[in-house]
Amino acid sequence: KAGVTQTPRYLIKTRGQQVTLSCSPISGHRSVSWYQQTPGQGLQFLFEYFSETQRNKGNFPGRFSGRQFSNSRSEMNVSTLELGDSALYLCASSLRTSGTLTDTQYFGPGTRLTVL
Amino acid sequence: QQQVKQSPQSLIVQKGGISIINCAYENTAFDYFPWYQQFPGKGPALLIAIRPDVSEKKEGRFTISFNKSAKQFSLHIMDSQPGDSATYFCAALIPNFGNEKLTFGTGTRLTIIP
C-alpha cells in the first residue's frame, strides 16, 4: 500500500506570495492532518480534515487554510507569505475509525517551504 | 505555550546501552501519549503509545514508562543500535471533539555511537 505523498517536496517563494501544498493520504484513510515543523517551534498542529470537513484547528492565523476533496486528498494554502512561514509542512493521514486521533497517524515526507 | 516539555534536547549513547528520553505535561486532560521517531528527510513515524491507565508498555526494545501522579512519561530504548539514531518526539492528546490535536514535545536528537 502506498504511503502518504506530498507535493511538491521543495518550494521557494517570496514574501507576500501565496502557496498551495498537496497531500494524498493512504488509500482508505479519510482523515488528513497538517503540521508545521520548524527548529524553533517544533511540530505544531495546523488543522485536520475528515470527510471534507475541517474537524479540528490549531492556533494559526487565518492566512493558513485548507480543504479536502471527496477522494480525501487535501490541500493547504498559505496566503501573504511571511519569512516566518519557512518550515517543513507535514501531512498525516489516519483511518480515524475510533473517532479520535488515537488512530495511528501516518506522516508524509513533508514539503520544505522557503520564503525569501 | 508549551504543554509538553521534553528532555534532553540531544543524547549520545553507546551501542548496546539504554537510551532514556523524558517528557512532562501539565494538563491532566491529556489521555493518550504517543512517541514518534523521525529520520532525516522523513516524516515522523509512530513508535509506541500509551494510555494513562497503564504504567508501562513494552514493544520489542522500546518501553514507555508512565507516572500519572508526577505527570511524566519516558521512552526507554534497550540495547540501543546505530539504526536507532534519529530524532524522537513525545506527544500528548486531549480527545476533545472539535478541539482535538496532538501537542508535541520539542524533540530529542539521539545518536548511538559504536
Q: For B27-37, how does the pLDDT look when each residue is reduced to its tens digit (9 = 90+)? A: 888 989 999 99
3-state SS class at A84: helix
CA distances from B20 to A86, B15, B62, B81, B110 (A): 31, 13, 10, 13, 10
Top residue of B10, B53, B102 to mutate, by most chain A CBs within 10 Å, is: B102
Judge contact between A105 and A33, C-beta under 8 A.
Answer: yes
Give the Cβ contact number of residue A68 at 10 Å. 23
Residue A112: all three cell numbers together: 520544505
Q: Which residues of A touch B49 (CB under 8 A)?
A: 102
Residues of chain B whose beta carbon is less than 8 angstroms from a beta carbon of chain A are 32, 41-46, 49, 89, 91, 93, 95, 97-107
User: What are the C-alpha distances in Å from A52 to residues A31, A64, A97, B39, B100?
Assistant: 9, 17, 16, 31, 17
- Across the interface, of B43, B100, B103, the residue whose CB is closest to A90 is B43
For the stretch A22-79, pLDDT in tens is 999 999 999 999 999 998 888 999 999 998 999 888 889 999 999 999 999 999 999 9
Q: pLDDT tens for residues A62-78?
A: 999 999 999 999 999 99
Sign, CA dihedral B83-B85-B86-B89, equals: positive
Cell of B71: 505527570
* B52 contacts on A by Cβ (under 8 Å): none
For residue B70, give the 3-state DSSP assignment: coil
CB pair distance less than 8 Å for A45 and B99: no
